[in-house]
Amino acid sequence: MYRWEIVQAVTEQRVFGIVRAATPEAALTSAEAVLDAGLRAVEVALTTPRALSAVARLTEQRPDALVGAGTVLDSAAARAAVEAGARFLVSPSLHPEVIRAGHRYGVPVFPGVATPTEIVRALEEGADAVKIFPASGVSPAWLRDVRAALPQAPAIPTGGVTVDDAPEWIAAGAVACGMGSALTSGGPSAAMERVAALLAGLAGAR
């Protein structure tokens, strides 16, 4: 897939899962839970010990899933993630070297931003979308106001987005939301119920 096709696929459902765990095995279990529940894309945070082994196993076991790597802070981590099979990269902050490394290998990058100035700089550096982080520090109304001035910015609120307010973020102009413990806590059965409720809610917000 080309970079733009990956972005389109990752944002198609308006949400992707985020997995951050104490072990690669736990990350794999959580990722499989949200994929089994109906999500097509999931990000494995590199703060998980031996996270790239989980990325590699997921890409082997779930070839139809869009598996990404999160908390990518430098070009070395970006390249290692791509070599492990990551198809998109996410950062909590803005690192031009990560964007360049991802693009070098045909992979989209979503850097973290928190202000209009950072959003514009990320776009200038070639970001495929911007991760609004932490979303808990702002609101859908804030995003709506920012997009009035910067309608060209594809925004992905992450960090504190809940099943209840995700539709509000989409209605405010977000292209997708990144969601972690709001989906994965409580085990596979709870994840299944939350994802089903979330997808139903997001369908009404489009």
**pLDDT tens across 106-165, in order?**
999 999 999 999 999 999 999 999 999 999 999 999 999 999 999 999 999 999 999 999
Show which residues are catalytic.
43, 131
Q: What is the pLDDT of residue 205?
A: 66
Residue 7: its pLDDT value, please? 98
Strands of the chain (E only): list them: 15-19, 41-45, 66-70, 89-90, 109-110, 112-113, 130-132, 155-157, 177-179
What pLDDT shows up at residue 4?
97
Question: Amino acid identity of 82?
Answer: V
Tell me the CB-side half-sphere exposure of residue 72, using CA atoms within 13 A.
33
Cα torsion angle, 155, 82, 40, 71, sign: negative
* Residue 206: per-residue pLDDT: 57
Alpha carbon distance 197, 164 (integer Å):
9
Question: Which residues of the chain fall below pLDDT 70?
Answer: 205-206
pLDDT of residue 122: 98
Enumerate residues 6+ apart whose C-beta is below 8 A from 192: 33, 36, 37
| Integer Cα distance of 104 and 87 in angstroms | 13
| Nearest residue to 119 via CA among 90, 146, 92, 101 | 146
pLDDT at position 17 is 96
